[in-house]
């Protein structure tokens, strides 16, 4: 019977890993995937020399392992953020990096806008590719499409808003004061 070495959330070892990452890595420094494999006691089957898999079995095991590691890292990232105010950003196929505190709010904002835009694209795709419906239903559907278009417009406006520190004080207290007359 195989022993389960997986680290459990909220265990003493889990808390020590959070502290270790906090004490070891600095903002902008790469935390390689191998660090997580090692700390979570997950053998990276891509590097396994003592195990030979047939291609179909290897693909299945790799997918299972990736899912297990991804799930653990997501929980770990959330705990790290809540306990130490450290935000990890994925660096594709390399690992993670700590987002500097000076960039963390912007990163959160960008993540939110990205998620909203993706959701809007998916919603519009679903709402556009519909079979014919009765006129009464069509009117209801058009109303919902208009609402999505309005939300999309508001998101575009929010994304294009100037930073309040880039706008002069006069612009805040006297909007339009510098508009040129035609």
- Report pLDDT digits (tens) over 12-60: 989 999 999 999 999 999 999 889 988 987 776 665 656 666 777 777 7
Q: Which residues are registered as beta bridge partners of 96? A: 31, 90
Residue 74: Cβ within 10 Å count: 11
Q: Which residues of the chain have pLDDT under 50?
A: 1-3, 182
So what's the pLDDT on residue 178?
A: 63
Instruction: Report the alpha-carbon distance of residue 93 to residue 81 in Å, rounded.
Output: 22
Q: What is the pTM of this model?
A: 0.73
Q: Please, which residues have CB within 8 angstroms of residue 69's CB and are 6 or more apart in sequence?
A: 33, 36, 37, 40, 42
pLDDT at 112: 93
Question: Which pLDDT does position 70 carry in this prediction?
Answer: 86
């Amino acid at each position: 019977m195989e022993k389960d070495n997986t680290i459990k959330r909220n265990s003493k070892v889990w808390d020590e890993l959070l502290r270790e990452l906090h004490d070891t890595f600095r903002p902008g420094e790469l935390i390689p995937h191998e660090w997580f494999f090692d700390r979570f006691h997950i053998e990276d089957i891509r590097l396994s020399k003592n195990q030979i898999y047939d291609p179909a079995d290897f693909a299945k095991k790799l997918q299972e392992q990736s899912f297990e590691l991804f799930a653990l890292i997501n929980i770990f990232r959330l705990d790290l953020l809540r306990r130490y105010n450290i935000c990890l950003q994925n660096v594709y196929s390399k690992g993670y990096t700590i987002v500097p505190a000076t960039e963390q709010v912007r990163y959160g904002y960008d993540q939110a806008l990205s998620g909203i835009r993706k959701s809007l694209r998916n919603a519009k795709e679903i709402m556009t590719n519909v079979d014919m419906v009765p006129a009464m239903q069509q009117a209801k559907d058009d109303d919902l499409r208009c609402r999505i278009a309005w939300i999309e417009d508001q998101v575009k406006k929010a994304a294009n808003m100037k930073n309040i520190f880039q706008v002069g004080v006069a612009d805040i207290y006297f909007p339009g004061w510098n508009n040129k007359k035609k």
